Amino acid sequence: HQTHKEGVSALGVVGSLVVSASHDSNLKLYKWGEGQAGVERSVSARSITIAGVASPSPCTIILACWDNTVMVYGMVTGSWRSTVVAHTDAVSCIGWGQGVLATGSWDGL
């Protein structure tokens, strides 16, 4: 069944959870097991489209957002840790690997 109100814009894996993000500004975390899936947690990211999801650890989710920011969500605390203006235009993609966070934007950088 439908869990987002608008189209899904990003997917990721965080520890044992699958994460989906959407143009509806929500992040959904799904727990998988025993042939059944269910929404473990739903998180609102203000009112901005989420374009990408990265995870440096099972406790942290980093989002690329269309308001030029990168947002960091803490899984343990269930709260937003920080929001950083990363570009002069929408952050359109994000990646994490070997301790490096990389973002791309509509600003060409």
Q: Which pLDDT score is estimated for 98?
A: 94
Q: What is the pLDDT of residue 34?
A: 67
Per-residue pLDDT of the chain (109 residues; tens, 9 = 90+): 578 889 999 999 988 889 999 999 999 999 876 666 778 888 888 778 999 999 999 999 999 999 999 999 999 999 999 999 999 999 999 999 999 999 999 999 8
CA 71 to chain centre: 8
Q: Encoding tokens for residue 15?
A: 């520890």
- Residue 65 CA to residue 90 CA, distance in Å, equals 6
Answer for the pair 62, 51: CB distance below 8 angstroms, yes or no: no
pTM (two decimals) = 0.87
Print the SS3 string covering 27-56.
EEEEEEECCEEEEEEEEECCCCCEEEEEEE
The reported pLDDT for the residue numbered 31 is: 85
Tokens of 106: 């509509």
Give whole-number Cα distances, 85 to 29, 31, 65, 72, 90, in Å.
25, 31, 10, 12, 10
